[in-house]
Amino acid sequence: MSTKLHHTMNVSVGKNGLTSRRDFVKALGAGGAAVAGMGWMDRMTAEAAALRERGMSCILLWMQGGPSQFETFSPKAGHKNGGETKAISTDVSGIQISEHLPNTAGVMDDVCLIRSMNSKEGSHPRASYLLHTGYVPTASVKYPTLGSIASQQIGNDQLDLPSFVRIGRARGAGGAGFLGVEYDPFQMQTAKRQPENTEIPSTEQRYQRRLGLLGQLEGQFEKNGGEQEVADHRKLYNKASKIVLSPQMNAFDIQQESAAMRNAYGDSEFGAGCLLARRLVETGATFVEVAAGNWDTHQDNFSRSQELCEQVDQPYAQLLKDLKQRGMLDRTLVVWMGEFGRTPRINARGGRDHYPRAFNVALAGGGVRGGQVIGKTDAGGVSVTDRPVGVTDLFRTICHSLKIDGDDTNMSSIGRPIPIVEGGETVSEVFG
C-alpha cells in the first residue's frame, strides 16, 4: 500500500510539472470541494488519472539512411542541384514540397518544417547516434536515446505495456544507455505480427500453473542467501507476465482496425507501423519509433527516393489526420527525420552522398504551430543562409513540446551528472 502510494505520487508530480510533494498536496487541497466525499487514496488516483490524460507522447518517424532534402521537403526545381524533382504547392500558400509527397502536401498546415538543420557528422553510425541522443558517441558514457529519455521522464507507470516501443530496424538508434534496461526500447521487427515471445506457449491456465510452481521452487534459494535476487526476479517476471496477459496487448494487433482504416494507412510495412504507433499511443505508450528506409541513395537517387516517398507519404499524412480526428494531435508530437541530408551535387551514378551541412526535420502536433517553415538555404541548397538549427536546438525543442526539462541531469555509471541536453536553445518560433 505504501509503495503504491509513493509511486502514484511520483508519477503525478512529474506530469504536472509541480516541483515538490508539498505542492502536490496543496494542489489536491485546492480541488477539495469538487472531490468531497472521496477518500484520500481515491482522490490521489483520480488526480493521477487526470494528469496522465494530459501527458505527452511522441512518435518518431525515423528515415534511416539520410533522406534527400531535395526529393522530400526542400525541392530546388530549376536549379541544377535540384535534378529532375519538381515542386508542388501545398495547402499552405507559399510552402512547396517535392512532387513525390502529394498526400503530405495536404496536411502541411499541421507541419512545421525546419529546413536549416545542420551537424558535422557525416557517417551513418555517428550521425544516427547524434540525432537519437543529442550527443556524439564516446566510449565512456552511453547516452540514452530519445525514447528512453521520454519514457524515463514522462513515462506512464500505470500502463501494462512497455512505454517505449521501436518498430522496424533502426540501425545505430541507441538504447537506454546509463538510464538502465527498464527504459530500453521494446523492439518489434514488424508491426504486422505480435511482438516476439509475447504469445504464451500454451493455455493461460497452464501458464498460471507454471508460474505457481516456479514460485514454490524459488523457496530453497530464497532461504539460502538469494532472498534479494529472488525478490527482484519475481518482480521482473510479474511485470513480464502482466504484459503478456494484459488485455492491452490488443493494442499490438492492427487487424482490430477496420479495413477502411488499414487501407487509409496503406499496407506497406511503414503504413502498418504508423497505424500501430497510433494504437499504442492511444493505449498510453509514451514514445513509439517507426523506421523507414533505406534512404542511403548513393546511386539512382531519383528513382529510389521516389519509391521511398511513395512508401512514406500516405501513412505520414494519414497519421497526422487520424491523430487530429481523435483529438490526440495536440498531445502527440510527431517527428519526421533522418541522420543527415544528401549532397547538393549529383554524383556520376545519379546518386547523392552524405550531407550533414543542411537537411530537414518535420515536426507536427505536440503544440507545434503548423503551416510554417523555419530556416533557409541558398538557391543551390549548399549552405544554410537563415536561422541555422543544430541538433541540440532540435532536442531542446522536442523537450519543450514534451514538457521535459532539458537541463535535468542523470548520473552516468561513473557518477558524472549528464544533462538531458547539453547546450542548445529551444527554437521558440516552432510553438509561436
Q: Which spans of this chain sit near another protein (rule: CB under 8 A)?
A: 120-123, 125-126, 129, 137-140, 142, 162, 171-172, 180-182, 184, 186-187, 196-201, 206, 209-210, 213-214, 216-222, 224-230, 232-234, 236-237, 239-241, 243-244, 354, 356, 413-414, 416
Task: Give the separation between CA 184 and CA 22, rounded to whole angstroms.
Answer: 32
Please identify, using beta-carbon distances, which residue of 52 and 169 lies nearer to another protein. Answer: 169
Distant-in-sequence, close-in-space partners of 84: CB < 8 Å, separation ≥ 6: 302
Q: Does the bond joining 294 to the residue before it have cis omega, within 30 degrees of 0?
A: yes
Please identify, using beta-carbon distances, which residue of 69 and 187 lies nearer to another protein. Answer: 187
- In the complex, the smallest distance separating the C-beta of residue 1 from another protein, rounded to whole angstroms, is 25
Task: Give the separation between CA 421 and CA 391, rounded to whole angstroms.
Answer: 10
Please identify, using beta-carbon distances, which residue of 238 and 303 lies nearer to another protein. Answer: 238
Please identify, using beta-carbon distances, which residue of 64 and 426 lies nearer to another protein. Answer: 64
- In the complex, the smallest distance separating the C-beta of residue 134 from another protein, rounded to whole angstroms, is 15
8 Å CB contact between 12 and 50: no
Please identify, using beta-carbon distances, which residue of 43 and 166 lies nearer to another protein. Answer: 166
- In the complex, the smallest distance separating the C-beta of residue 112 from another protein, rounded to whole angstroms, is 28
- In the complex, the smallest distance separating the C-beta of residue 415 from another protein, rounded to whole angstroms, is 9
Could you identify the residue written with the cell 515536426? 363
Please identify, using beta-carbon distances, which residue of 30 and 139 lies nearer to another protein. Answer: 139
Task: Give the separation between CA 396 and CA 284, rounded to whole angstroms.
Answer: 23
DSSP string, 167-223: ES--TT----GGG-GGGS-EEES-TTSPPTT-S-SS-HHHHHHHHHHHHHHTHHHHH
- In the complex, the smallest distance separating the C-beta of residue 215 from another protein, rounded to whole angstroms, is 9
- In the complex, the smallest distance separating the C-beta of residue 13 from another protein, rounded to whole angstroms, is 24
End-to-end CA distance of the chain: 44
- In the complex, the smallest distance separating the C-beta of residue 417 from another protein, rounded to whole angstroms, is 12
- In the complex, the smallest distance separating the C-beta of residue 296 from another protein, rounded to whole angstroms, is 9
- In the complex, the smallest distance separating the C-beta of residue 191 from another protein, rounded to whole angstroms, is 17
Buried b (16+ CB within 10 A) or exposed e, 45-63: bebbeebbeebbbbbbbbb
- In the complex, the smallest distance separating the C-beta of residue 210 from another protein, rounded to whole angstroms, is 5
The helix (run of H) or strand (run of E) holding residue 125 is helix 124-133
Buried b (16+ CB within 10 A) or exposed e, 255-279: eebeeeebebbbeebbbbbbbbbbb
Please identify, using beta-carbon distances, which residue of 201 and 247 lies nearer to another protein. Answer: 201
Please identify, using beta-carbon distances, which residue of 63 and 113 lies nearer to another protein. Answer: 63
Please identify, using beta-carbon distances, which residue of 121 and 269 lies nearer to another protein. Answer: 121
Please identify, using beta-carbon distances, which residue of 90 and 119 lies nearer to another protein. Answer: 119
Name the grid cell of 81: 542541384
What region does 291 belong to: left with phi over 0, alpha with psi -120 to 50, or beta? beta
Please identify, using beta-carbon distances, which residue of 186 and 359 lies nearer to another protein. Answer: 186
8 Å CB contact between 308 and 265: no
Q: Number of H helices and number of E strands within the chain? A: 13, 16
- In the complex, the smallest distance separating the C-beta of residue 413 from another protein, rounded to whole angstroms, is 6
Residue 303 has a CB neighbour count (10 Å cut-off) of 12
Q: Could you tell me how far CA 172 lies from the centroid of its own chain?
A: 15
Task: Give the separation between CA 424 and CA 431, rounded to whole angstroms.
Answer: 16
